[in-house]
């Protein structure tokens, strides 16, 4: 039986016409997260200069909520500093979309996790200090990937 729920107008708008869709070839940071068992996979690319996110793009394979949360996340972080982007929460993503059905809230977690992984990648590549909380999130992501059979 198919579950019925409704999306806000903002979710549908971002799903139908996603912002910042695509790939940055020479990205300063790339984050990839997902869960193939539920079908959502997200890749986020950052271009950073002087600690500010100048450009951000994403590629997402998933449901309307996954695509919409990816799109709004890129809008929210463009022009922000790395520290400001790290402070972003899934609650902020959900509120920016005027809400998500409870069964789709995990999609907002994916977009924030992809952002965190891209920032981790950027900091790591540039030999910058990685905050302890970000290191823990990264380790948890790597552990989950291996448990699900996606890791090396």
**Active-site residue (options: 38, 54, 87, 103):** 38
pTM: 0.89
Say whether pLDDT at 42 is over 80: yes
**Is 38 part of the annotated catalytic residue set?**
yes
Model pLDDT for residues 96-126, shown as the tens digit of each residue: 999 999 888 887 788 999 999 999 999 999 9
Which domains can be identified in the chain, with CATH numbers? Answer: 9-147 (3.90.1010.10)
**Active-site residue (options: 107, 112, 115, 119):** 107
Q: How confident is the model at residue 39 (pLDDT cuts 50, 70, 90)?
A: confident
CB atoms within 10 A of CB 54: 13
- In a 10 Å sphere around its CB, with 0-12 CB exposed, 13-18 middle and 19+ buried, how is residue 60 labelled? buried
Say whether pLDDT at 150 is over 50: no
Say whether pLDDT at 1 is over 70: no
**Is 63 part of the annotated catalytic residue set?**
no
């Amino acid at each position: 039986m198919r579950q019925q729920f409704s999306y806000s107008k903002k979710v549908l708008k971002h799903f139908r016409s996603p912002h910042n869709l695509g790939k940055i070839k020479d990205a300063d940071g790339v984050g990839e997260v997902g869960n193939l068992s539920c079908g959502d996979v997200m890749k986020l690319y950052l271009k950073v200069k002087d600690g500010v996110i100048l450009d951000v793009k994403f590629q997402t394979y998933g449901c309307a909520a996954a695509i919409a949360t990816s799109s709004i996340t890129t809008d929210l972080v463009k022009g922000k500093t790395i520290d400001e982007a790290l402070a972003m929460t899934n609650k902020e993503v959900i509120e920016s979309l005027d809400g998500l059905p409870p069964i789709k809230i995990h999609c907002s977690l994916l977009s924030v996790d992809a952002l965190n992984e891209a920032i981790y990648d950027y900091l790591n590549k540039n030999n910058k200090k990685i905050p302890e909380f970000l290191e823990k999130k990264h380790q948890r992501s790597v552990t989950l990937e291996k448990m699900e059979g996606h890791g090396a």
